[in-house]
Amino acid sequence: MTTSIIKNQNQTYDLGNSDLRLKDIIKTLPKECFKKNRFKAWTNVAIAVLMVALGYVSIAISPWFLLPFAWIFTGTALTGFFVIAHDCGHRSFANRRWVNDLVGHVLLLPLIYPFHSWRIKHNHHHKHTNKLDEDNAWHPIRPEVFETWGPFRKAVFEGFMRNRLWWLGSIGHWAVVHFDWRNFKTKDQSSIKFSVAVVVLFAVVAFPLLIATTGIWGFVKFWLLPWMVYHFWMSTFTIVHHTTFDVPFVAAHKWNEALAQLSGTIHCDYPRWIEFLCHDINVHVPHHLSTAIPSYNLRLAYKSIKENWQPYLHDESKFSWALMKEITDKCQLYVTDVGYITFDEYHAGR
């Protein structure tokens, strides 16, 4: 942050004790940002399907030494499937709910991701972004919570962060959270059961068929490894969107919705081919201001946000190994009202 007091739209806001409301920001965005465009939406679907198909062809014909490149490309293209389903989950893909639900379910099938489970949990993240103990995406662990864990769980988590295994994070989240309808409110459980049944049925049919025609290696080659690349990007996008040593997570009584969404969300640039295949999900600040903005309008919205609200924005970052090393090295535990500390600092203070 570059200043503690800014003036915008003929009003003055204090960054530390802000009267800023989310609707103040949304009102400054061009109306075009919120317009759904059927042609753009379905063009993105066509591009995603074409890129995934191209990826699978490349896996099928690549010699062994080119397979890693084919897996990376295909897994990244599959992430594009998820991003379009992400629009569907926020009802920003189509006007009709049944279209959003149908497209969302179909695109998440090869990822074995229950659509309604993800949609409901993800909307909770948007309602409580960077709220300590409430945000259910990639959230920090407080020392007092860490201390209640058993030795094995502590060792796993500490090793996970120290060894920079962030890229496995979304696999655990997928497996633990999204298949048990008891994790959801009673009113949502029928939808959850339906989505779980859809992906389980797909897996029961598709996986044995894939193994029968290509063998166990074919299952690993065509599904498992691209799927792991997809989870690499899921984990990476999620942690980078809201995590750096100077982005605070605050208690509920101090939480300001507008500041959490505007200042607690980080824009990160990735290589252009990744941004293309993933439909600009990295342009994440406008998405947190309003989930009604379709992915193809994120850049237009971000341009406006930078023009009107630049002093609120966190510095942009650029994806690199150095960035991920910094995040995993510095953002290990979180002390309320203080910020992130490392495991070494935690152990030294005991």
Which band of pLDDT confidence, cut at 50, 70 and 90, is reported for residue 8?
A: very low
Please check whether residue 8 lies inside any domain of the structure.
Answer: no
Do 330 and 342 touch, CB atoms closer than 8 A?
A: yes
What 8-state DSSP symbol labels residue 184?
S
- At 261-293, the pLDDT tens digits run 999 999 999 999 999 999 999 999 999 999 999
Give the residue carrying structure tokens 């802000």: 18
DSSP secondary structure letters along 312-329: GSPPPEE--HHHHHHHHH
How far apart are alpha carbons 207 and 15 in whole angstroms?
52
- Res 18: pLDDT: 61
Q: What is the CA radius of gyration of the chain?
A: 21
Do 58 and 70 touch, CB atoms closer than 8 A?
A: yes
The DSSP element (H or E) to which 221 belongs, if any, is none
Question: φ, ψ for residue 222 (rounded to 5)?
Answer: -95, -25
Please check whether residue 14 lies inside any domain of the structure.
Answer: no
Strand-pair category, 268-269 with 317-318 = parallel
Please check whether residue 236 lies inside any domain of the structure.
Answer: yes
The domain containing residue 245 runs over which residues?
A: 24-348
User: What is the largest distance, in Å, between two alpha-carbon atoms of the chain?
Assistant: 67
pLDDT above 90 (res 9)? no
pTM, two decimal places: 0.92
How far apart are alpha carbons 55 and 221 in whole angstroms?
12
The DSSP element (H or E) to which 14 belongs, if any, is strand 11-14
pLDDT above 60 (res 15)? no
Give the residue carrying structure tokens 């988590």: 157
Which band of pLDDT confidence, cut at 50, 70 and 90, is reported for residue 4?
A: very low
| Amino acid letter, residue 246 | D
Residue 269's SS3 state is strand
Half-sphere exposure of 348 (CA within 13 A, CB side): 5
Question: φ, ψ for residue 340 (rounded to 5)?
Answer: -75, 145
Please check whether residue 87 lies inside any domain of the structure.
Answer: yes
- Res 183: pLDDT: 86
The DSSP element (H or E) to which 222 belongs, if any, is none
How far apart are alpha carbons 156 and 141 in whole angstroms?
13
Tokens of 198: 């859809």
Do 17 and 24 touch, CB atoms closer than 8 A?
A: no
How far apart are alpha carbons 80 and 170 in whole angstroms?
16
Contacts of 8 (CB under 8 A, 6+ apart): 308, 309
Q: How many domains does the chain have?
A: 1
Strand-pair category, 11-14 with 5-8 = antiparallel
pLDDT above 80 (res 319)? yes
Please check whether residue 11 lies inside any domain of the structure.
Answer: no
- At 37-78, the pLDDT tens digits run 999 999 999 999 999 999 999 999 999 999 999 999 999 999
Do 117 and 102 touch, CB atoms closer than 8 A?
A: no
Please check whether residue 81 lies inside any domain of the structure.
Answer: yes
Do 84 and 295 touch, CB atoms closer than 8 A?
A: yes
Please check whether residue 78 lies inside any domain of the structure.
Answer: yes
